Amino acid sequence: MSQNTDLFSTYHLGVLDLKNRFLMAPMTRSRATQPGDIPNTLMAEYYGQRASAGIIITEATQVSLQGKGYANTPGIYTKEQIEGWKLITDEVHKKGSKIFLQLWHVGRVSSSKVNGLQPIAPSEKIAKETNVYIFDGAPNGDATFIPVETPREMTKADIKQVIEEFRTGAKNAIEAGFDGVEIHGANGYLIDEFLRSNSNQRTDEYGGNKENRTRLLTEITEAVAIEVGKEKTGVRLSPFISFKDMNDPEILETIMVASQALEKIGITYIHLCEADWDDAPEIPNDFRTELRETFSNTIIATGNKTPEQANSLLKNNLVDLVGFGRKFLTNPDYPERVKQHAQMNDISDTHTLFGGGGARGYTDYSFL
C-alpha cells in the first residue's frame, strides 16, 4: 500500500468504488416504527446526513422476531420492513455513498418481554450480568433495562431455520437496495455464542473443537454468499471483546480458524469490532499481521480510533477501511471536520442514544 494512503484516499471494496476510507460503524438507535419494527423517514434522514462516509454499515437488524433482543430495533423479514429500508438506501445513494445492512440474531441476549419468545442459544447457559431493554412508558421516553432470560438449547431444526433466516434476510436486503450485507458474528450474539467454548457446550458437530464451533458461522456465510454473491457479503467478528459473559481463552485461535474458512468462501471483508472504552486492550500488531496473511480481501477495524491511529493502520497495510461510531453519531459531517481540524460535537443527551427522543439527539446534530 502506498505511503500516501490515508482516510481520504479512495478504495475499491470488491466491485464498489468508495470515495474515502471512512466507514460509519453500525450503532443501535431504536427508532424503528411500531408495531412491526419498520424503518422510516426519520431513519432515512439520519443515514442520509452521514453519507459523507465512503460506506455505511447500518445498525444491527434482526433476521426474525426470534432474533430480536432490544425494543424498537428494525427487522428485515417482512414486506413492510423491506419497503421501509428502501427509503434509507435511496437517500444514501442519492447522497453518493454505499450502504450495507448488518444481519443480526441476538441468540441468548434477549427476554420474552422484548419479543414474547424464550431466547435460543447453542446451550442452556444464561449470559450473566447481561441486560436488554424495553420501552415501558417512562416519562422521559427512556429505555428500561431488564435482565436476559435462560435460553433454550437449539435443536438441529432451529439451526437450519436460523441459516435460512440469514439467507432470506440477505435476499431481502438486496431487494431493499443495499449494496451488500454484513453478517453480525460479534459482541456476544448468536454466532459469537457458537464460536466461544464458554457459551457453546454442545457435543454435536456444532460444538466441541474450534472447527465445530465455527461451523454455524461458515454455513450461514456460505448460504448468504450463494444467495447474494460473495462480493456483497462481509462478516463482523470481535476477538478481543468479552462482555455479555463471553470470556473464552481459545477465541483468538478460533477466530483464525474462522478467518481461514471465510477466506475459502471468498467474502469481500472481515470487520473487526474492537473494544472502544478508554483502557481497553490494544490489539497486538502480530494478530493484525496474522489476519492479513490469512485473509486476502478487505479488513476493517472499528473501535474509537483517532484519525491519526486510523491513518497509521492504513499506512502500515494492517487494515483497508476504518469504522467510526460515536464520532459519526454526533458529527454527521465527520470526514469534513477531520479534514478541517474542526471542533467536534459531543453527545448532547445520553437519554436519546437508544430511542427516547425521536429526532432529538438523532438528526439534530449540527453540520459545520
Question: pLDDT digits over 202-246, tens only?
Answer: 999 999 999 999 999 999 999 999 999 999 999 999 998 988 999
Q: Minimal CA–CA distance to 331: which of 320, 311, 345, 349?
A: 345
Q: Minimal CA–CA distance to 103: which of 176, 156, 48, 43?
A: 176
pLDDT less than 70: residues of the chain: 1-3, 139, 277-280, 356-357
What pLDDT does 1 receive? Answer: 57
CATH architecture for residues 11-352: Alpha-Beta Barrel (3.20)
What pLDDT does 207 receive? Answer: 98
What pLDDT does 140 receive? Answer: 72
Cis preceding-peptide flag for 35 (omega within 30 of 0): yes
Handedness of CA 323, 329, 330, 332 (dihedral sign): positive
C-alpha cell at 310: 486510523
In single-letter form, the type of residue at position 252 comes to L
Alpha-carbon separation of residue 11 from 17, 84, 241, 321 (angstroms) = 6, 29, 28, 8
Q: Minimal CA–CA distance to 258: which of 220, 300, 285?
A: 220
C-alpha cell at 206: 456444532
Which one from 133, 189, 334, 365 is the annotated catalytic residue?
189
The answer to whether the pTM exceeds 0.85 is yes
Task: Name 13's bridge partners.
Answer: 16
What pLDDT does 141 receive? Answer: 75
- d(CA 324, CA 327) in angstroms, rounded, equals 6
Instruction: List CB contacts of 267: < 8 A, sequence separation 6 or more.
Output: 221, 225, 230, 233, 234, 235, 297
Q: What SS3 class is residue 354?
A: coil
What pLDDT does 187 receive? Answer: 96
Instruction: List CB contacts of 208: < 8 A, sequence separation 6 or more.
Output: 202
* Residue 46 falls in the annotated catalytic set: no
Q: 147-166: b or e for each residue (b if 16 or more CB lie within 10 Å)?
A: ebbebeebeeeebeebbebb
